[in-house]
Amino acid sequence: MDEQYIKIGSVEELLQSLQSPGAVILCGGTDLVVKMRKGLLSAKTLLDISDLDQLREIRQERGCIEIGAAVSFSQIIEEAIIREQIPILAMGLRKLGSTQIRNRGTIGGNLVNASPAADSAIPLLLLDAEVVIADSTGERRVQLEDFLCGPGKTVLKQGEFLSGIRVPIPDPEFSSFFHKVGRRKALTIAIASLGALLRMKDDAIDEIRLAAGSVAPAPIRLHPVETLLAGRRVTPQSVEQARNIIRQCISPITDLRATADYRYQVIADLLARLLLTMPN
């Protein structure tokens, strides 16, 4: 490879370097390097941001937790305020890759890679997270739902980069659920995944948030299913209705890992499992 490599020393340098055609940001490299080796992505200049302290911070501020784009998965999992305030994020990231990948891979890189199977996106969608996008004129915030456009596609424009993620701290009464199905127990890419935040009141579902991966062009919130279940008790009838609605919300494909029909079945089964085993 004949790419130019630049170790970025400041956000100002990063913004200036991003103006060059063919410039690509490198941080953990767990997705980027694989794509480059397979010939799926080319870069004239690699901009290494791994030493930018501004992008490696986790802090709590005004009802939100702010996570820098260059924070590693392992750092997020080990951070006390993550485990205490938004445990669903740590739960989801523990399912991601191997220890080595979690040590090196970053939350920003996982989102910018925009895989339909991105494990980090499921809990962040449940948490109504928004991404912070920076360029030479300042910052803008975009809901994660709107940031992810399809396989490998986001709303990032030339000269912009994802600087961080803002996560509203949810009600502590929410219970968390995350499960993914793959072809092996470790280092698996999800055939289908489902996450949930659930709050009960008087033996009925007070609020439920649902998000799924590997069953649509991008990880998605399942708003129609949430609306169906809100305020209802869990009965065989409501479970069956939810199974039918969730199948209408998704558009899985057949690939080397699974058929579309299998993904339809798995996601419906995961939802039923969640509803039938949830706390009262």
Strand 45-48 to 64-68 pairing: unpaired
All CATH 3.30.465.10 domain ranges of the chain, comma separated, are 4-168
Q: What is the pLDDT of residue 31?
A: 77
Give the whole-angstrom CA distance, residue 199 versus residue 205. 6
Encoded tokens for 243: 């199974």
All CATH 3.30.390.50 domain ranges of the chain, comma separated, are 176-277
What is the pLDDT tens value at each position of the chain, 280 positions in all? Answer: 467 889 999 999 999 999 888 888 988 777 787 777 777 777 788 899 988 999 999 999 989 999 999 999 999 999 999 999 999 999 999 988 778 888 888 999 999 999 999 999 999 999 999 999 999 999 999 999 999 999 999 999 999 999 999 999 999 999 999 999 977 555 567 899 999 999 999 999 999 999 999 999 999 999 999 999 999 999 999 999 999 999 999 999 999 889 999 999 999 999 999 999 876 5
Fold of 4-168: 3.30.465
Calculate the alpha carbon distances from 120 to 23, 42, 108, 174, 239 in Å: 25, 25, 9, 19, 27
- The secondary element (H helix, E strand) that includes residue 143 is strand 138-143
How many angstroms from the chain centroid is the CA of residue 21? 28
Q: What is the pLDDT of residue 41?
A: 74
Q: Which CATH superfamily is domain 176-277 in?
A: CO dehydrogenase flavoprotein, C-terminal domain (3.30.390.50)
Give the whole-angstrom CA distance, residue 217 versus residue 252. 8
Give the whole-angstrom CA distance, residue 100 versus residue 97. 8
Q: What is the pLDDT of residue 159?
A: 92
Which amino acid type is present at position 144? L
* 198 three-class SS: strand
Query: Cβ-count burial of 53 within 10 angstroms (0-12 exposed, 13-18 middle, 19+ buried)?
Result: exposed
- Within 13 Å and on the Cβ side, how many CA atoms surround 251? 5
Biggest distance spanned by C-alpha atoms of the chain = 64
Neighbours of 204 (CB within 10 A): 13
| This prediction's pTM | 0.93
Q: What is the pLDDT of residue 101?
A: 85
Neighbours of 81 (CB within 10 A): 12
Calculate the alpha carbon distances from 261 to 20, 102, 252 in Å: 44, 31, 8
What sections of the chain are H helices per DSSP? Answer: 11-17, 32-37, 73-78, 80-85, 87-93, 99-104, 107-113, 121-126, 144-147, 223-229, 236-249, 260-277
Name, in order, each residue with C-beta under 8 angstroms of 5's C-beta and a sequence gap of 6 or more.
45, 46, 48
Encoded tokens for 67: 């996570």
- Within 13 Å and on the Cβ side, how many CA atoms surround 82? 24
Q: What is the pLDDT of residue 279?
A: 64
Phi/psi of residue 44, nearest 5 degrees: -80, -35
Q: What is the pLDDT of residue 91?
A: 94
